[in-house]
Structure 1
Amino acid sequence: MISDDPDAERLVAEPAKDAGHGRGPYERDRARVLHSAAFRRLAAKTQVHVAGTDDFLRTRLTHSLEVAQIAREMGARLGCDPDVVDVAGLAHDLGHPPFGHNGEDALDDLARPCGGFEGNAQTLRVLTRLEAKVFAPDGSSAGLNLTRAALDATGKYPWPRRPGQRKFGVYADDTAVFDWLRRGAPAQARSLEAQVMDWADDVAYSVHDVEDGVHGGYLTLDRLLDDPDERAALCADVAAVYSPESAVDLSAVLVDLLGDPVLAPLADYDGSHRAQAAVKATTSVLTGRFVVAAVSATRRRFGAAPLRRYAADLVVPRDIRAQCALLKGMALRYVMRRPGAESRYARQREILRDLVHRLTERAPDVLDPVFAPWWKAAPDDAARLRVVIDQVASLTDPGATDWHRRLSTS
């Protein structure tokens, strides 16, 4: 059935379902993502810490659930369809490969001959091609066949790769579906739902990864409170990676942030039940602060009417965005770059390089049944490499390690 609402349209028309039961198209989108294989695999993919190394720490799955919850509540306050922003939060990391951003960088280097690798572009590919749900009349896969609005909401970077730019949202051979979902959208503009999801991702990343770092014993505030040189070094990291602000400007925000009593439990953490509750209270306050600030600033600029799609842009106050970036910088400096981490990252990159090399040599026989036919049908070496990259990107952290071990000994 073709929808009269272009936002609710699907690339492949489907017969009407749930007649009389009131379930809308975006609720169906949400269910499709929740029940997808790609979503389940996020349970064994790295967030910041290696998946499975600690029962307390977050994975890509728990992170995605948290992003979806934050995005849903924030979007509802602005007038967005709550299921659309929920879908975006649940789906935004489906394209991430094994080993987190380290794996993403490794696959980008390996995939240069076929256009590179980017987690957001891979998410679009997962949703519109790689997941098994709906097929077009010509026999090609339409992936989960989500609505236009839901697909558009997952697009953090709605443009192809540009020279010198790391972030992009579509590979060359997915241009057709990208053009379809972007029909009627301003060029390179992000929908409000995508902006809400992106800010929810930043909020969850910054607050929760700091919480994990404190619990794991990697992050304490003592050095920052006592050492001005350490504060300057953190601000330099944040300016280089997460913020357009200068290190000098960030330093003033950092002083205010460290002086906020809400952060006190991070300095006094001893792992006890009471300490865990205190840190959880800190994360709750910070999350609420970041969400309310963005909603209030957006409302002040665009008014009280319901806002959705391209009727508004999300407004995040400068100091709030800087605070969020500084928290992300703490996770970067004290968790991801902690002593000994680089040797593990090097081993992860080595596993992915070897895996891509061995699969390229031995495909299609060693590929999953899903990917082998695509490899056989690929018209050239670049297209065959893309299938190999799809196979590797689909693996979990332990799955990539197991595949590498098996192919290295057989």
Structure 2
Amino acid sequence: MSVRPPLVRYAVSPANARGRLHPEPEAATRSPWQRDRDRIIHCSAFRKLQYKTQVFVNHEGDFYRTRLTHSIEVAQIARSVARALGLDEDLTEALALAHDLGHPPFGHAGEEALNLAMKPFGGFDHNAQSLRIVTLLESRYAAWDGLNLTWETLEGLVKHNGPLRNPAPYIADYNDRYKLDLNTQPSAEAQVAAIADDVAYHSHDLDDGLRARLFAPEDLKHLPVVGDALAAARLSSLDVPPPRLRHETIRRVINAMVSDLLAETTKRLNKLDPATPDAIRRSRHRVVAFTAGMAEANQAIKDFLFARMYRHWRVNRMSAKARRLTEEIYRLLHADPSLLPDDWRARAGEAGTQRAATIVGDYVAGMTDRYAMDEHRRLTDISLNG
């Protein structure tokens, strides 16, 4: 039986928590961050991640990652790292599970299209949309909008990639009401969730790319870390069948990355010697990080995936269709909000306004791939009923 280690002094804990915007009695059976995690898992935006694109559109295959499976895999890696470092696992897990809530349908293609369409009205930012979801759009409680998450979860959600010098408008507006210390580093738990995202999408996109035959194992031999993992996987058995070779390679890649970040992070923490979570926040540099060599290897993997997967002609075709479809839905609804369902139409107001732009953006961003395709047909195919 695995016993949870005691928290280090610079871990976030209930003793140094800053509470919630709307005060609530503490739960008898859960910590504040277990409660946040549970609220995230139960919210509708989290469920919809099951049908939102990671790289491949959902209907292209049952085995490819979706935003939901990716988020679960990030949470698994993040929780393991947090435990090894003596940090709060529950806050780390909550942040990992919530980090992609704001993504629109069709992955980065959908986000690019929505950002371009909304450019005259401030653009679209999935990080700001995640904050809108958990503080405004989820309507589950009688006394307030959103999920009323703790300060630590909200801070980690908006700052997981580092201090925000020029925050998106909604983040800036929310910060005016509830200060999230945007100019400081995030907590160590938030930093772990962010770097676990890198580990997960690099290794698992390699897995999905091999599964889709966008490239072959032989194409990976030159990649740092991956090439060594592939060679070690081949040595693990005299005759490793291709599916097992893929899995043996990827788990070695993950292990190498996690081992590197644990060693480098421990080194940085020992040098900084932080006494509190705020000492982590005041640090000039991130404390959870790869070594320079592993950071270079990760960039090489990213460059390979960009060239051989994200810009593969098969992915390009689907991305082009997804961008066009997303832009057309937004343009049609923004020009005529009367086409929106009743509850959305009442909030959108007049066509072409900032209010309409924001509400239509919320509506489109909340769509799954499948719903977006169906909605596009309903809006453009005259033979279909609305």
Is the structural similarity TM-score above 0.5?
yes
The Cα RMSD (Å) is 3.0
Q: 1:94 aligns with which of 91, 94, 101?
A: 101
User: What is the correspondence of 1:189-268 to structure 2 with a 5 Å cutoff?
Assistant: 189-223=185-219, 254=223, 256-257=224-225, 259-260=227-228, 262-264=229-231
Q: 2:270 aligns with which of 282, 288, 303?
A: 303
2:301 is the counterpart of 1:291: no
Closer, same or farther in 2 for the Cα pair 1:51/1:388, shift >3 Å? same
Conservation of the 8 A alpha-carbon contact between 1:128 and 1:143: yes
2:8 is the counterpart of 1:7: no
Aligned to 1:372: 345
Conservation of the 8 A alpha-carbon contact between 2:26 and 2:32: no
Aligned to 1:363: 337
Q: Separation in 2 of the partners of 1:317 and 1:130?
A: 39
How many Å apart are 1:267 and its aligned residue? 9.1
Counterpart residue identity of residue 127, structure 1:
V
How many Å apart are 1:406 and its aligned residue? 0.2
Closer, same or farther in 2 for the Cα pair 1:220/1:23, shift >3 Å? same
Conservation of the 8 A alpha-carbon contact between 2:225 and 2:256: no
How many Å apart are 1:196 and its aligned residue? 1.1
How many Å apart are 1:159 and its aligned residue? 6.2
Question: What secondary structure, in the 3-state scheme, does the structure 1 residue paired with 2:79 have?
Answer: helix
Conservation of the 8 A alpha-carbon contact between 1:6 and 1:148: no
Question: What secondary structure, in the 3-state scheme, does the structure 1 residue paired with 2:101 have?
Answer: coil
Counterpart residue identity of residue 374, structure 1:
R
Aligned to 2:153: 150
Counterpart residue identity of residue 354, structure 1:
E
TM-score by length of 1: 0.79
Closer, same or farther in 2 for the Cα pair 1:80/1:258, shift >3 Å? closer
Q: Separation in 2 of the partners of 1:118 and 1:107?
A: 9
Q: Separation in 2 of the partners of 1:391 and 1:78?
A: 40
How many Å apart are 1:109 and its aligned residue? 0.7
Q: Separation in 2 of the partners of 1:267 and 1:331?
A: 22
Conservation of the 8 A alpha-carbon contact between 1:72 and 1:86: yes
Q: Separation in 2 of the partners of 1:158 and 1:130?
A: 25
Q: Separation in 2 of the partners of 1:360 and 1:306?
A: 50
Q: Separation in 2 of the partners of 1:368 and 1:118?
A: 26
How many Å apart are 1:161 and its aligned residue? 8.0
Conservation of the 8 A alpha-carbon contact between 2:334 and 2:351: no
How many Å apart are 1:224 and its aligned residue? 6.0
Aligned to 1:240: none
How many Å apart are 1:127 and its aligned residue? 1.1
How many Å apart are 1:307 and its aligned residue? 7.9
Name stretches of at least 5 consecutive residues in structure 2 with no aligned partner. 1-12, 281-286
Aligned to 2:8: none
Aligned to 2:168: 171
How many Å apart are 1:352 and its aligned residue? 1.2
Cα distance per residue 1:320-357 (max 9 Å; x no partner): 11222222333222222112433322221111111011
How many Å apart are 1:266 and its aligned residue? 8.5
How many Å apart are 1:101 and its aligned residue? 0.6
Q: Separation in 2 of the partners of 1:39 and 1:115?
A: 25
How many Å apart are 1:152 and its aligned residue? 1.4
Closer, same or farther in 2 for the Cα pair 1:265/1:342, shift >3 Å? farther
Q: Separation in 1 of the partners of 2:57 and 2:274?
A: 41
Conservation of the 8 A alpha-carbon contact between 2:348 and 2:359: yes
Q: 1:327 aligns with which of 278, 301, 320?
A: 301
Counterpart residue identity of residue 213, structure 1:
G
Question: What secondary structure, in the 3-state scheme, does the structure 2 residue paired with 1:303 have?
Answer: helix
Conservation of the 8 A alpha-carbon contact between 1:114 and 1:383: no
2:134 is the counterpart of 1:127: yes
2:386 is the counterpart of 1:400: no
How many Å apart are 1:176 and its aligned residue? 3.9
How many Å apart are 1:315 and its aligned residue? 2.9
Closer, same or farther in 2 for the Cα pair 1:44/1:409, shift >3 Å? same
Aligned to 1:342: 316
Aligned to 2:49: 42
2:292 is the counterpart of 1:314: no
Q: Separation in 2 of the partners of 1:5 and 1:44?
A: 38
Conservation of the 8 A alpha-carbon contact between 2:156 and 2:190: yes
Conservation of the 8 A alpha-carbon contact between 1:26 and 1:147: yes
TM-score by length of 2: 0.83
Cα distance per residue 1:107-157 (max 9 Å; x no partner): 111111221111111111111111122355xxxx53111101111122235
Q: Separation in 1 of the partners of 2:275 and 2:70?
A: 26
Conservation of the 8 A alpha-carbon contact between 1:75 and 1:85: yes
2:242 is the counterpart of 1:275: yes
